[in-house]
Structure 1
């Protein structure tokens, strides 16, 4: 019986040996890099702490002084907004605007023209007449209070005390004694020693009541001639048997003619401005 020879075992080839050698060399290089990294990075000495510096305060835009120096722009802007917010109430209560507007409206109604001149025109006329009447008062307030405060010469409280004096003088000069006594009695406060000692809370409503009374007196005087003219026209129409014709339609041209002949607007404007001295 014939026996077969055993197969010869072959060792690794040259390519396998080269790849194995390359892997060994690559692993050794990586190990050398990892070991050399921490050793090469020498520790640095800690730096000494620096002394803290003082903060620089820039208060150029945060100056809110209201006395001693001139007030900042922010405070001036706040005061301007405050004045503008109370301007409508001040215009109605402490100026001649209310009286002038009421007299102009009553004159329009006396003529029998409820919409002519329109309300905007009457309001504009009343506003500019108010500025004309109150001009000296506003000038005194600006001179003794506003300009010294803006220049930093006085404080806000001192500016108010100085500025209210010209306004109080104007209110007292145009307030009737009856209305002033009435408001003093209603306020419950002690009777002041003189008129200058009356508080503004009592003086302002007394001035408004006095202005309303004066406005209605002037309106009554304006109404009387036009009322007489209406009665004459009505009597003439009844005498002619024309009862169906409205007297106001016939009397309107005559009232306009009378108002133009006597220069009514000039007379009313002169009376209103002259009533404030």
Structure 2
């Protein structure tokens, strides 16, 4: 019995040794083949970035246009936040969720997606005007890049001017050193954008305050009832949450809220 076990161990060691030997031979053959092969047989991809001298101004202009396009794409999220209706929408939705007390319902992804598509809906007339008057003529080589940029700003600036308060415009024009602007064209875009942003935040906070009132009344009523019944250890939010959800559903809250928000931009 012991001899049989010993023989089996010896065979196993021989098999393992033979496997190691095969692996070593294959590895040695691999390195010999590749070390002896000519350099042109081993082709690896490379990436190079450099500058070349040119006497053609059109090539320089094309490069500058590409750089400008990449810059615009990199700051596109910030442009979407600063110059559209997205800010007011997402802030109001956040206030609504806090007022109802549903914590993470609806989720952030749902609220951001809803605000984003509502932004597309609200801003479509503005973007369509910019596309028709500036982008399409530029693509047809009918106008220059500078003219296209001037035209594309016009409908966006008009939209922002309609939503911006005069007090906010005056604040930033004074800080920028612009005294007594006669027309809207005298106010540069870098002054208009921050004024538009704080105006949007003020409007969103006002709407959020109005949203809080009915839900706050429900919380106060439920808290008073629980206190009168001696249930001081029971959280009022736990009891008021179903009533707030019921109220929001019965009055068709999403229909009223979305309709009011969209109409506030027109």
**Residues 1:103 and 2:111 are matched in the alignment:** no
Partners of 2:251 and 2:151 lie apart in 1 by 44
Of 217, 231, 246, the match for 1:242: 231
Q: Distance in 1 between matches of 2:156 and 2:197?
A: 14
What residue number does 1:267 align with? 256
Report the Cα offset of residue 167 of structure 1. Answer: 0.8
Larger Rg: 1
2:187 is the counterpart of 1:198: yes
Deviations 1:78-132 (A, max 9, x none): 5543332121110110011011000001101101012011111100000000000
* Counterpart in the other structure of 2:106: 117
**1:190, CA displacement in angstroms?**
2.0
Is 1:177 the counterpart of 2:175 in the alignment?
no
The 1-side partners of 2:250 and 2:69 are apart by 46
Q: Aligned partners of 2:264, 2:60: CA distance in 1, in Å?
A: 43
Residue in structure 1 matched with residue 72 of structure 2 by the alignment: 83
Q: Give the match's secondary structure for 1:183.
A: helix
1:1-277 alignment, distance < 5 Å: 64=59, 78-277=67-266
**SS of corresponding position for 1:213:** helix
Give the TM-score taking structure 2 as reference length: 0.75
More helix as a share of residues: 2
Residues in 2 aligned to 1:176 and 1:192: alpha-carbon distance in whole angstroms: 15
Segment drifting more, 181-190 vs 214-223: 181-190
Q: Classify the secondary structure of the residue corresponding to 2:233.
A: coil
Structure 2 match to 1:38: none
Q: SS at the partner of 1:115?
A: coil
What's the TM-score once normalised by structure 1's chain length?
A: 0.72
User: Residue 197 of structure 1: CA displacement?
Assistant: 2.2
Distance in 2 (alpha carbons) for counterparts of 1:111 and 1:228: 11
Cα drift, residue 163 of structure 1: 1.0
Q: Distance between the aligned counterparts of 1:162 and 1:241, measured in 2? A: 67
How far apart in 1 are the matches of 2:65 and 2:178? 35
| Consecutive unaligned residues in structure 1, runs of 5 or more | 1-61, 67-71
Q: How many residues in Structure 1 have an aligned counterpart in Structure 2?
A: 211
* Offset from partner CA, 1:153-211 (integer Å, 9 cap, x none): 11111111111111111110110111111111222222210233211111100000000
Where structure 2 has 5 or more consecutive residues not aligned to the other structure, the ranges are 1-56
